[in-house]
Amino acid sequence: MKAPDPRLRIDGEFARLEEIPRAFLRGDTARAARGLIGAWIARRHEGHWYGARIVETEAYLGRDDPAAHSCGGRRTPRVEPMYRDGGHLYVYLVYGMHHCANVVTRTEGLAEAVLLRAAEGPAGTPEKLLSGPGRLCRALGITTAASGLALLTGGEVRLARGPDRPRAIRATPRIGVAYAGEAARWPLRFFDARSLAVSGPARLNRA
């Protein structure tokens, strides 16, 4: 992996976060995608923690979801991490340049996942630094080298929950999946409607 943006250092904040129960990630994927709004994605680099609060996600429902990489049971070396137990990381590359990070859900063999579309850095970081899946991975230095890592067992990349939960979570169809037919209209994109870091449309004004 690459070095994260130094503005994302959260050593003090990370100490106050709690690990997300694996049982939550083994459950319904759409529910997990909604529940990850407000959680933190963090990684350790040279003895320090860097991270951001997740504000936008999309759920991908495996075998029967035409928008999922595992649709129809597709199983390639790239997609293999999606088949692991809930709580692993699946990272893929698009257009040969943008990395996209996903949290694997359900139990081993079902190949469902939640795409992390956008996040907010600590106070003082630019609002759009992690706005979009490619920007999120670039700011945190996450690459395909991290695909398959466990997120809940003390590794270099962690998923955790803070004390505050968003009060204005909205759902819309996913972005950029017009090829998926009817599935393109499924309301599987979730976002914190008060966050200025959200990458897609339908954001509310901050209170």
Instruction: Determine the Cα angle at 104 with ends 15 and 65, to 5°.
Output: 145
Dihedral pair phi/psi, residue 54, rounded to 5°: -70, 130
Neighbours of 67 (CB within 10 A): 21
Tens of pLDDT, residues 32-68: 999 999 999 999 999 999 999 999 999 999 999 999 9
Average pLDDT over every residue of 163-179: 90
Residue 130: which region, alpha, beta or left (left: phi > 0; alpha: psi -120 to 50)? alpha
Beta strands in 61-163 (DSSP E): 89-94, 98-105, 112-120, 157-161
Total-model pTM = 0.94
Judge whether 159 and 40 are in contact, CB under 8 Å: yes
Rounded CA separation 179/90 (Å)? 22
State how far the Cα of 120 lies from the Cα of 172, in Å rounded to an integer: 20
Q: What is the mean pLDDT of residues 14-26?
A: 92
What secondary structure, in 3-state letters, does 177-189 show?
CHHHHHHHHCCCE
Give the pLDDT confidence score for residue 207 in this predicted structure: 39
User: In what helix (H) or strand (E) does residue 138 lie, and over which residues does it extend?
Assistant: helix 133-140
Q: Work out whether the CA dihedral 147, 20, 186, 194 comes out positive or negative.
A: negative
Measure CA of the first residue to CA of the last residue in the chain; give whole Å.
37
Average pLDDT, the chain: 93
Question: Mean pLDDT over residues 157-163, rounded?
Answer: 90
